[in-house]
Amino acid sequence: MMTQMTRRELALSLSLVGASFLLASTPVARAGDLEQIAALESVARAAYAERNFDQAILALTEIIKLAPSEPRYLEMRADASVDKKAFVEGIRDYRAAIALLGDDTIDKARVLSQVGLALEGLDRWDEAIESYNQSLELANALGNDRDPYLLNSLGNCYASVGDWSKARTFYIESANSFQRSRAIDISMQKRLDGAIFSFSNAVLMDAQIGDLDEAAIVKRMQDLARRAPGSADMRAALAAMYWSAGEQEKAEASWEFACNNIAVGCAKYEDFDWLRRVRRWPPVMVRRMEAFVKLDRDGS
């Protein structure tokens, strides 16, 4: 069953190894401190797993005092800060970690992608775009493919500033990249889900841009809904499109299927703030969804 990619999945690179809480390295510290660091790291990992981010941050702060030149602990503390939505603190730690990393390393590319994620949390879209591009360029210079998660994130950022065409370009590149991906740490199902999600984002941009005939947009949405039977997204979008076109029975049937036959249901699509800010549907699609939910034909 296809699930929506999380913000962290969208920003953390497959080819860049993944979250720093899974990394291991030898800390740069005095030999006498190693045992204390190991104990504190165990506390931090357990707290992070339980989503007790404050406790994880406290333990990591003590580690950083003992090993101030080890970038991974700064990165780990930044991860915990971002997950508790303390984005400013997270960015500060990510940038401190970058300052300790080599200029041309895959670790630096990974941390730059995480800076982009944190900047998105602050709605600092232009800065997030710059950080994601720096990550992609560095990874590419080191022989890595352009990462599909980061490409989708760039699409999100451009959509957030209203550059629908550029957003669509990155969504399509992301979808194609997912389909080509042969990374050993991504399953075939995740590649398929990622591709469908990015293609879904692209067709939503098509609806906003208005260059395509709406029948062609509906056809693409139908194809995506068939490819992802466990996703409510395109079925909700089809309900909005059908309603806008005056095809009320089709709209109701698509909506009922999403609500009653898909595990995640359709309730979130009645939350228009979520639809705009989190799912990031473009304005024309949000208006159509709102018109359908409110049964207001004049709003389409």
CATH of the domain at 79: 1.25.40.10
What pLDDT does residue 28 have? 55
Please enumerate, as own/partner, the contacts of 91-100 that have beta carbons within 8 Å and a separation of 24 or more: 91/115, 91/118, 91/119, 91/122, 94/118, 96/71, 97/71, 97/72, 98/71, 100/69, 100/70, 100/71, 100/74
Question: Do 235 and 257 form a contact (C-beta atoms < 8 A)?
Answer: yes
The better pLDDT of the pair 102, 51 is held by: 51
Burial of 17 (0-12, 13-18, 19+ CB in 10 A): middle
Three-state DSSP state, 152: helix
Residue 276 lies in a domain: no
Record the pTM.
Answer: 0.86
Q: Round to the nearest angstrom and report the end-to-end CA distance of the chain.
A: 31
Q: Cα(192)–Cα(187) distance, rounded to whole angstroms? A: 9
Q: Cα(131)–Cα(118) distance, rounded to whole angstroms? A: 10
Percent of the chain scored above 90 by pLDDT? 78
Q: What's the mean pLDDT in 230-257? A: 96
Three-state DSSP state, 251: helix
Q: Cα(300)–Cα(279) distance, rounded to whole angstroms? A: 20
What pLDDT does residue 239 have? 97
Q: Cα(138)–Cα(132) distance, rounded to whole angstroms? A: 10
Residue 21 lies in a domain: yes
Range with the lowest mean pLDDT among 30-44, 81-95, 114-128, 253-267?
A: 30-44
* E runs forming strands in the chain: none
Task: Read off the amino acid at residue 179.
Answer: Q
What pLDDT does residue 103 have? 80
Question: Do 161 and 112 form a contact (C-beta atoms < 8 A)?
Answer: no
Residue 235 lies in a domain: no
Confidence of residue 112 (pLDDT cuts 50, 70, 90): very high
What pLDDT does residue 185 have? 54
- The token duo for 172 is 């399509």
Confidence of residue 269 (pLDDT cuts 50, 70, 90): very high
Confidence of residue 12 (pLDDT cuts 50, 70, 90): very low
Is 183 a residue whose pLDDT tops 70?
A: no
Residue 214 lies in a domain: no
Domain that holds residue 47: 17-143
Residue 96 lies in a domain: yes
Task: Read off the amino acid at residue 12.
Answer: L
Residue 273 lies in a domain: no
Range with the lowest mean pLDDT among 83-97, 135-149, 181-195?
A: 181-195
Q: Cα(119)–Cα(247) distance, rounded to whole angstroms? A: 41
Residue 87 lies in a domain: yes
DSSP one-letter code for 185: T
Give the chain's mean pLDDT. 88
Q: Cα(106)–Cα(203) distance, rounded to whole angstroms? A: 33
Task: Tally the domains of the chain.
Answer: 1
Confidence of residue 48 (pLDDT cuts 50, 70, 90): very high
Residue 127 lies in a domain: yes
Helix axes 164-180, 188-209, angle to 10 degrees: 160
CA 236 to chain centre: 20
Q: Which of 34-38, 141-145, 161-165 has the highest mean pLDDT?
A: 161-165
